[in-house]
Amino acid sequence: MTAPEHETYPLGLRLDGRRTVVVGGGPVAARRARGLLDAGAVVTVVAPFVCEDLAELLAVHGTEDAGGAHGHAAAPRGRGARLSWVRRDYLTGDLDGAWLVHTATGDPHVDAEVAADAEADRIFCVAAGDADLATAWVPAVARTRVPSTAPGDVARGPARDASPGRAAEVTVSVNAGRDPRRAQRVRDAVAALLEAGELPLRAVRPVGARAAADDAARHAGAVSGPLVRPVGSVALVGGGPGDTGLISVRGRRLLAEADVVVVDRLGPRGLLDELGDDVEVVDVGKTPGHHPVPQAEINRILVHHALVGRRVVRLKGGDPYVFGRGGEELDACREHGIPVEVVPGVTSAVSVPAAAGIPVTHRGLSRGFTVLTGHEDVGKVPAASDHTVVLLMGVSRLAETADALVAQGRSPETPVAVVEDGYGPRQRTTVGTLATIADRARDAGVRPPAVTVVGDVVTLSPAWATPATPR
> 275-284, 286-295, 380-389, 457-466: lowest mean pLDDT where?
286-295
pTM: 0.64
Judged against a pLDDT cut of 90, whether residue 460 lies above it is answered with yes
Query: Which H or E run includes 168?
Result: strand 168-174
> 136-140, 162-166, 265-269: lowest mean pLDDT where?
162-166
Confidence of residue 402 (pLDDT cuts 50, 70, 90): very high
Q: Which residues neighbour 297 within 8 Å (Cβ) at sequence distance 6 or greater?
A: 284
Residues tagged active-site? 264, 286
Residue 41's nearest CA partner among 22, 28, 54 is 22
Task: Give the end-to-end CA distance of the chain in Å, rounded to a whole number.
Answer: 85
Please state the rounded mean pLDDT for residues 68-81.
46
DSSP 349-363: HHHHHHHTT--S-BT
Judged against a pLDDT cut of 60, whether residue 80 lies above it is answered with no
Confidence of residue 176 (pLDDT cuts 50, 70, 90): confident
Rounded to an integer, what distance in angstroms lies between the CA atom of residue 187 and that of residue 190? 5
**Quick check: helix, strand or coil at residue 250?**
helix
Q: Measuring CA to CA, how many Å separate 344 from each of 61, 269, 271?
A: 42, 17, 17
Residue 168, number of CB atoms within 10 A of its CB: 17
Please state the rounded mean pLDDT for residues 99-116.
95
> 214-223, 297-306, 398-407, 448-457: lowest mean pLDDT where?
214-223
Higher pLDDT, 71 or 267: 267
Q: Which residues neighbour 447 within 8 Å (Cβ) at sequence distance 6 or greater?
A: 395, 420
Judged against a pLDDT cut of 80, whether residue 470 lies above it is answered with no
DSSP 134-160: -S--PPEEEEEEE--SSTT---SSSGG
> Phi then psi for 138, rounded to 5 degrees?
-100, 120
Confidence of residue 223 (pLDDT cuts 50, 70, 90): low
Judged against a pLDDT cut of 70, whether residue 148 lies above it is answered with no
Secondary structure E strands in 175-319: 233-238, 260-263, 280-283, 311-316
The confidence score (pLDDT) of residue 67 equals 52
Angle between helices 326-335 and 295-307 (to 10 degrees): 40
The confidence score (pLDDT) of residue 352 equals 96
Identify the DSSP state of 389: E
Q: What is the mean pLDDT of the chain?
A: 84
The confidence score (pLDDT) of residue 297 equals 95
Question: Is the CB of residue 45 less than 8 Å from the CB of residue 33?
Answer: yes
Judged against a pLDDT cut of 90, whether residue 12 lies above it is answered with no
% of the chain surpassing 90 pLDDT? 56
Rounded to an integer, what distance in angstroms lies between the CA atom of residue 187 and that of residue 181? 10
> 212-216, 389-393, 395-399: lowest mean pLDDT where?
212-216
- H helix count then E strand count, the chain: 12, 17
Per-residue pLDDT tens over the stretch 21-36 = 999 999 999 999 999 9
Angle between helices 437-444 and 398-407 (to 10 degrees): 170
> 191-195, 216-220, 226-230: lowest mean pLDDT where?
216-220
Rounded to an integer, what distance in angstroms lies between the CA atom of residue 262 and that of residue 264? 7
> 54-68, 316-330, 348-362, 440-454: lowest mean pLDDT where?
54-68
Judged against a pLDDT cut of 70, whether residue 64 lies above it is answered with no
Judged against a pLDDT cut of 60, whether residue 225 lies above it is answered with no
Rounded to an integer, what distance in angstroms lies between the CA atom of residue 402 and that of residue 425? 28
> 83-92, 152-161, 206-215: lowest mean pLDDT where?
152-161
Alpha helices in 308-394 (DSSP H): 326-335, 348-355
Confidence of residue 129 (pLDDT cuts 50, 70, 90): confident
Judged against a pLDDT cut of 90, whether residue 259 lies above it is answered with yes
Alpha helices in 77-144 (DSSP H): 108-120
Residue 446's nearest CA partner among 419, 424, 412 is 419
> 141-150, 171-180, 247-256, 427-436: lowest mean pLDDT where?
141-150
| Amino acid (one-letter) located at 247 | I
CA angle 50, 52, 58 (to 5 degrees): 70
Judged against a pLDDT cut of 60, whether residue 149 lies above it is answered with no
